[in-house]
Amino acid sequence: MPLALQPSRILIVEDETIVARDIRNQLIELGYEPVGHATRGEEAIALTGDLRPDLVLMDIQLASVMDGIAAAQAIRTQFALPVVFLTAFDADQILERAKLTEPFGYLLKPFSARELRTVVTMALYKHQAEAKLISSTCQLQALSRRVLEAQEFERRRVAVELHDELGQLLTAIKINLQLGERLKDCAPSELNTENIRIVDDALNQVRRLATGLRPALLDDLGLSPALQWIAEIIAARSSFSVHFCPQEMPQRLAPDIETACFRIVQEALTNISRHAQATQVTITLCHENNALVLCVQDDGLGFDLAAMRQRAMLGGSVGVLGMQERASLIGGQLDIESAPGQGSQVQLTCPWRALAPSA
């Protein structure tokens, strides 16, 4: 049974007790939950910190040293919560000061229940949109940092392999060629054999580099063989076994979908290898209702999903952000389920889009 939505919690800041009581009754009738009442600016800030309401209704004219505008500024700065101003005055000077606090609404007293509902509803919606935007911005910044870090790491890896592996092999061939030039009277068969062996080693090294950057299997044979390959590669150096269950696909998928699926599985298996201590991993791939469904499930330690999402928001779990971003770019949705001691499941659902026929 789905959980009932909790009513929005609202703090009332009003120094007129009768007015505050009337506002409280209106909020209750409208389906909101008044969580407290403050009469002074300092008290409003303290109650906001203690109660963490969803919204603050703030009277501008308060019988205290700190008026509502100053209190609203402190609340926005300290808690990033939305504030709606209430006032019986509409002087331009007051409005200009109030605008500096970036309020989420403005109500002139006396106001009707309909006006209250409209302003509160829009303020809550605007705050939710703002929170999502901030979250998306934080995720984008974390992903951007990760892209740059990954780019530099990959450049260093390729540079080291080119220098230490290919560089040495090419140097050896050069030395052999120079030696053969000096020893023209000697039979070249041994040097030729050695050069051929070195060239074979160099070719194998180039293939390993190319496969590390992007497996040719994905382009040549498609998603299922590529997933089988990466699963076997990662499982071979880990402590788990992989059971891959692909449904026979009616046709090849669009390249961007195949790439996203491959990288999501690669990241999921890498995370399992590093953290899960799993013994069994199951990968399923199927075509359902004109959608592609890809699932990676393990029997490992599991994790606290809420804590993981918080780390991802702060940039501490960029692998998850990367998988979500890849899913989003192909119009899909990535769902993660886990709990401590109960393993985990990563599922991608995206629209089915086939490979375009060649011209």
Confidence (pLDDT) at 3: 43
The answer to whether 52 and 28 are in contact (CB under 8 A) is no
The upper half-sphere exposure of residue 185, i.e. CA atoms within 13 Å in the direction of its Cβ, equals 0
Angle, helix 189-213 to helix 113-161, in steps of 10 degrees: 180
| Structure tokens given for 164 | 């230490």
The answer to whether 38 and 12 are in contact (CB under 8 A) is yes
Global pTM exceeds 0.75: no
Burial label, 276 (beta-carbon count in 10 A; 0-12, 13-18, 19+): buried
Largest CA distance in the chain: 114
Go through the domains of the chain in sequence order and give each one's CATH number.
Answer: 9-111 (3.40.50.2300), 137-213 (no CATH), 216-351 (3.30.565.10)
Confidence (pLDDT) at 156: 74
Q: Rounded to the nearest 5°, which phi and psi values hold at 303?
A: -160, 165
What is each CA distance from 157 to 153, 161, 229, 307, in whole angstroms? 6, 6, 22, 32
| Structure tokens given for 15 | 């120094």
Angle, helix 68-79 to helix 41-51, in steps of 10 degrees: 30
Question: Where in the chain does DSSP place strands (E)?
Answer: 9-13, 33-38, 55-59, 83-87, 105-108, 241-246, 280-288, 291-298, 333-338, 344-351
Q: Rounded to the nearest 5°, which phi and psi values hold at 135?
A: -60, -45
* pLDDT, one tens digit for every residue, the chain (359 residues): 344 468 899 999 998 889 899 999 999 999 999 999 999 989 999 999 999 999 999 998 887 788 888 898 899 888 888 899 888 766 666 667 777 777 788 888 888 888 888 888 888 888 888 877 777 676 666 666 666 666 666 677 676 677 667 777 777 777 777 776 666 655 566 667 777 777 787 777 776 676 666 777 888 888 999 999 999 989 988 889 999 999 888 888 999 999 999 999 998 998 999 888 999 999 999 998 889 999 999 999 988 877 777 776 665 566 777 788 889 889 999 999 998 888 999 999 999 998 877 64
* Calpha distance 240→277 (Å, rounded): 8
What is each CA distance from 2 to 5, 43, 203, 267, in whole angstroms? 9, 37, 59, 32
- Nearest residue to 179 (alpha-carbon basis) of 166, 195, 167: 195
Confidence (pLDDT) at 142: 67
Confidence (pLDDT) at 264: 92
Helices (H), 92-188: 92-99, 113-161, 167-182
Confidence (pLDDT) at 15: 87
What is each CA distance from 43 to 56, 67, 345, in whole angstroms? 13, 11, 46
Angle at 10 between CA 8 and CA 15, to 5 degrees: 165
